[in-house]
């Protein structure tokens, strides 16, 4: 047999190219004929096909126009709705065992607001794919007064120490700083100035030494509406002050993370009659360490008493709901956050509840969805990378069976998730939602 040795390199090259093409096609995902909520505007794009490769959206358009790459995996999207993966912008992760629960509920990004070196290690493990979980943004340990009981904190007492703390958190790789209670105004001012120099976003509570207007003047973003209500009204709950509160926040141009469902839950726990929170189906499938945390905070939760159907929340909570509705009506930028694991809030599930409460308080479904998709990306200055559905964006996507713009509770019915380009089907999501 005569072999043409001059052709051999070309034959090998062709074979290698064929293998590479086959591999690329195998890693390519096509979601065909789906209704897309791009989340850059309040609309639904019907009969769309989305093509994903290497963790990014590489094509998006009318199903009749988009060419499906040969060999790609095809997901039938007929009758389904596709939106960006949800974001919980206020959590406190207690154990990595919680992380799959977020993914199982379509929550594909979270912001931990009191991070630690351990949290940073979980962020790394998720990023390299050795741990199943949402993409993590992590704040540094809270900057707080020495009297604050939480263990994970830093307690600078001088401006120089505050500056050093912020620089150290930047060097450690944290994504933002978290301001807490109990610090002096010089410490607050130094931390804010250092965060600006470091390019780190900042948010948190309202230190008494600084006050509501002082925090707004510093352009610090607000966590928990109850902190705002207390700073302005104490416990008087004067509703005539709401227009002024809204105007001051809007003029300051800061972000607000209301954490409303946390307030609803706390009002129930605080009444002493609501131990049935621990018997909700989602509360029964959390990691044991999380259940231990709940009962250590409030021993009453070990009981099992019925939840009256006519109770939503107390006057303190109702005031916050009214304020949240006014903020939404005024167009103040809001972020959806839950404060998991506070008040028997369950990873992933609680964000669905938060969005429902936001809508019940007066936000439109689109505003609530923005707060959990595109707004967080804008908060971090990464809106060209994620948070909307467009060519070039990260492929973190959530597919559901009904249009959430018509009914926000549709988010509770996951059909599938695309996590960094990888398809996770309904059955696997159901498994991920059960941490035990």
DSSP string, 368-436: HHHHTTHHHHHHTT-TTTSSS-STTSB--EEEESS-TTT-GGGGGSEEEEEETTEEEEHHHHHHHT---
- Note if the bond before 19 is cis, omega within 30 degrees: no
Both tokens of residue 305?
């008493």
State the pLDDT at residue 304.
Answer: 47
State the pLDDT at residue 270.
Answer: 61
* pLDDT, block means (10 residues), the chain with 436 residues: 36 35 66 98 98 98 96 97 98 95 98 98 97 98 96 97 98 98 98 98 98 98 98 94 98 98 81 67 89 72 52 83 98 98 92 98 98 98 98 98 98 96 97 85
Tell whether the torsion through CA atoms of 57, 62, 68 and 69 is positive or negative. negative
State the pLDDT at residue 391.
Answer: 98
Nearest Cα to 346, choosing from 83, 126, 91, 151?
91
Q: Where are the alpha helices (DSSP H) in 183-314?
A: 185-198, 211-217, 225-233, 242-252, 260-271, 288-297
In order, the DSSP letters of 320-343 are: HHHHHHHHHHHT--B-----BTGG
Interatomic CA distance for residues 409 and 401, integer angstroms: 11
Both tokens of residue 214?
């002082």
State the pLDDT at residue 322.
Answer: 97
C-alpha distances out from residue 304 to 65, 349, 368, Å: 57, 21, 32
State the pLDDT at residue 17.
Answer: 34
Interatomic CA distance for residues 138 and 109, integer angstroms: 11
Contact between 225 and 323 under an 8 Å Cβ cutoff? The reply is yes
The CATH superfamily label for domain 85-387 reads Metal-dependent hydrolases (3.20.20.140)
Contact between 248 and 212 under an 8 Å Cβ cutoff? The reply is yes
Both tokens of residue 42?
């309040």
State the pLDDT at residue 298.
Answer: 59
State the pLDDT at residue 279.
Answer: 79
Contact between 231 and 181 under an 8 Å Cβ cutoff? The reply is no
According to DSSP, residue 345 is labeled P
Max distance between CA atoms of the chain, in angstroms, equals 98
Contact between 115 and 84 under an 8 Å Cβ cutoff? The reply is no
SS3 131: coil
Strand 45-53 and strand 29-36: the pairing is: antiparallel
Tell whether the torsion through CA atoms of 403, 409, 410 and 416 is positive or negative. positive
State the pLDDT at residue 248.
Answer: 98
Contact between 143 and 153 under an 8 Å Cβ cutoff? The reply is yes
Interatomic CA distance for residues 13 and 16, integer angstroms: 5
Q: Is 345 exposed, middle or buried (0-12, 13-18, 19+ CB in 10 A)?
A: buried
Interatomic CA distance for residues 84 and 386, integer angstroms: 8
Tell whether the torsion through CA atoms of 380, 175, 106 and 22 is positive or negative. positive
Strand 397-400 and strand 81-84: the pairing is: antiparallel
Q: How many residues does the chain have?
A: 436
Interatomic CA distance for residues 37 and 372, integer angstroms: 13
Interatomic CA distance for residues 38 and 45, integer angstroms: 8
């Amino acid at each position: 047999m005569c072999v043409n040795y001059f052709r051999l390199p070309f034959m090998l090259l062709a074979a290698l190219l064929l293998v590479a093409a086959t591999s690329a096609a195998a890693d390519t995902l096509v979601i065909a004929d789906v209704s897309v909520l791009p989340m850059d505007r309040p609309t639904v794009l019907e009969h769309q096909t989305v093509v994903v490769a290497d963790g990014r959206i590489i094509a998006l358009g009318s199903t009749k126009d988009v060419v499906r790459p040969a060999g790609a995996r095809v997901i039938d999207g007929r009758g389904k709705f596709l939106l960006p993966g949800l974001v919980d912008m206020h959590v406190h992760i207690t154990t990595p065992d919680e992380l799959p629960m977020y993914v199982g509920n379509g929550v594909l990004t979270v912001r931990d607001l009191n991070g630690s070196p351990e949290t940073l290690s979980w962020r790394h493990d998720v990023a390299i794919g050795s741990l199943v979980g949402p993409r993590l943004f992590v704040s540094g340990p809270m900057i707080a007064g020495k009297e604050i009981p939480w263990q994970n904190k830093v307690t600078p007492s001088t401006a120089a120490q505050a500056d050093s703390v912020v620089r150290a958190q930047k060097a450690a790789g944290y994504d933002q700083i978290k301001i807490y209670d109990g610090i002096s105004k010089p410490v607050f001012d130094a931390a804010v100035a250092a965060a600006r120099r470091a390019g780190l976003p900042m948010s948190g509570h309202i230190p008494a030494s600084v006050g509501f207007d002082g925090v707004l003047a510093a352009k610090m973003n607000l966590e928990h509406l109850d902190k705002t209500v207390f700073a302005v009204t104490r416990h008087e709950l004067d509703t005539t002050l709401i227009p002024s509160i809204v105007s001051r926040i809007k003029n300051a141009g800061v972000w607000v993370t209301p954490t409303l469902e946390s307030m609803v839950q706390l009002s129930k726990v605080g009444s002493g009659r609501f131990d049935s929170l621990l018997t909700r189906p989602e509360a029964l499938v959390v990691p044991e360490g999380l259940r231990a945390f709940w009962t250590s905070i409030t021993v009453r939760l070990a009981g099992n008493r019925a939840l009256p159907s006519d109770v939503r929340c107390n006057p303190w909570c109702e005031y916050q709901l009214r304020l949240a509705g006014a903020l939404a009506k005024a167009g103040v930028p809001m972020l959806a956050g839950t404060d998991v694991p506070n008040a028997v809030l369950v990873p992933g599930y609680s964000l669905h509840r938060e969005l429902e409460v936001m809508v019940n308080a007066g936000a439109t479904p689109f505003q609530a969805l923005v707060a959990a998709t595109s707004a967080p990306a804008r908060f971090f200055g990464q809106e060209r990378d994620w948070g909307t559905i467009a060519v070039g964006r990260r492929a973190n996507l959530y597919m559901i069976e009904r249009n959430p713009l018509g009914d926000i509770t549709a988010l509770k019915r996951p059909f599938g998730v695309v996590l960094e380009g990888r398809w996770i089907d309904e059955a696997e999501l159901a498994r991920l939602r059960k941490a035990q």
